[in-house]
Amino acid sequence: MERRTIGAATLEVGAIGLGCMPMSWGYSRSQQRGDRSLRAVHAALDAGSTLLDTADMYGPFTNELLVGRALKERRADAFVATKCGLLVGGDAHVVADGRPGYVKRACDASLRRLQTDVIDLYQLHRADPDVPVEETWGAMAELVTAGKVRALGVCATGAPTARRPGAPHEVTIRQLERVQQVFPVSAVQAELSVWAPEALDALLPWCAARGVGFLAAMPLGSGFLTGTLTPGQGFEPDDVRARHPRFTAEMMAANQPVVAGLRRVAARHGDGVTPAQVALAWLLGRGPHVVPVPGTKREEWARENAAAAGLALTARDEAEIERLPGARGSWD
C-alpha cells in the first residue's frame, strides 16, 4: 500500500487506516462481534493499513483493550493513534476533561490497555471548556518528552450547521493556532467524506500549509456511502444513527443520488469495485496529507477498504463526484 507521512516526516503510515470504533462503540451493541473483530485488525495490518485509530472513550476502554491484544502480537506493524479528553459518565453522558493531571493518568492507562510502551499519535478528543487548551496541550507535550507518546493530534469539533453557525471549523482553527504555540500539531482528525465535505473549505488547507496530517473520520458516511444500507431499515436505539437526521427513512431516500453516483463511478472500474472504495479513493485525492480511517469490525470490509488505495480515479470520475448533489439532513 502507498505510504503517507503525517506531520513530521518520521511518521509514516499506510494511505488508508482502520477506524476501530465500530468494534466497541457508536453503532448497535448487538452487532458487535467481540473477539472476532480482532480479525479485522489483522486483515487491515496484513493489507498495509498500519494506522489503527481508537480512543479510551470507545467502549469505554474495551476498544483499546481489543487493539492492545492485536498489538501484543505485532506492535511493529502498527501505528497506534488513540485519544484522551472525553469521558463517558455513569449516565452515558460524554464530558470533556482537559486537566493536566487527568491527561497524564489517562495516557498511562491507555498505554496499559494497549499493551505498548509508546503511543504513536495521541489526540485531544475534545477541548475542555473549563481548562485553557494550552494547559491540556502542555501536559500532552510533556508525554512526548517523557517518551510515552511520539506525536500529538487534535480532533476537530463538528462543522458548522444551522444550529451552530460560523465559518467552517473556525473554532477548531483558532484552537489549533493556540496549541501550535506550545507544541507542534502532527495531525488533525475531522469528519470528511463525499457527503460531508465541509473540512475542504478551511481545515484541510490549514493542515496542508503547515505539513500537518489529516485523518478523515467517518469517511464512509457512517456506512451510508457504501450503498449497503436501505432507507427505512431502522437502527437499534443504542446506534447513533437512530437519532441522526440523515438516517431517517426520508433522508436516506433523499440522499440516494449520492450513492448512485458512487456506484456509477465504481462500475466503470470493473467488477468488484465498490462505492465504498470510490468514496475512499476520492478522499486520497484531496491531498497527500489525507489518511482516511474507515471504521469496520469485519475482516472482509477491512480488506476491501484497504484495497481502495490502489484505485486510481480519472478526471472524469472526480468531476462526476464533484457534481453530486449536496447531502440533505443536518448533522445536529
Give contact residues for ligand NAP (rule: CB under 6 A). 19-22, 26-27, 53, 155, 189, 217-223, 226, 228, 276, 293-298, 301, 304-305
**Bond from prior residue into 132 cis (ω within 30 degrees of 0):** no
Q: Return the C-alpha cell found at 37.
A: 473483530
Residue placing its CB nearer to ligand NAP in the complex, 21 or 152: 21
CB of 4 to ligand NAP, least distance (A): 16
Is 27 an annotated catalytic residue? Answer: no
| Comparison of 145 and 228: residue with beta carbon closer to ligand NAP | 228
- Shortest approach of ligand NAP to residue 148 CB, angstroms? 21
HSE of 204, CA atoms in CB hemisphere, 13 A: 23
Task: List Cα–Cα distances, 179 to 41, 113, 186, 310, in angstroms.
Answer: 32, 27, 11, 35
214 bridge partner residues: 188, 290
Whose Cβ is closer to ligand NAP: residue 21's or residue 149's? 21
Please, which residue, 223 or 261, has the CB nearer to ligand NAP? 223
Cα–Cα dist 82/120, whole Å = 8
Residue 209, C-beta contacts closer than 8 angstroms, at least 6 positions apart: none
Tell me which of 27, 58, 102, 122 is the catalytic residue: 58
Beta strands in the chain (DSSP E): 3-5, 12-14, 18-19, 51-53, 79-84, 86-88, 94-96, 119-124, 149-155, 187-191, 213-217, 290-292
| CB of 203 vs ligand NAP, minimal distance in Å | 13
User: Quick one: 316 or 330, whose CB is closer to ligand NAP?
Assistant: 330
CA dihedral (244, 88, 74, 150) positive or negative: positive
Q: Tell me the HSE value of 266 on the side-chain side, using a 13 A CA sphere.
A: 20
How many Å apart are CA 184 and CA 200, to the nearest integer?
A: 22
Q: How far is the CB of 90 from ligand NAP (least distance, A)?
A: 21
Could you tell me the smallest distance in angstroms from the CB atom of residue 322 to ligand NAP? 20
Question: What residue number has its CB nearest to ligand NAP?
Answer: 295
Q: Catalytic amino acids?
A: 58
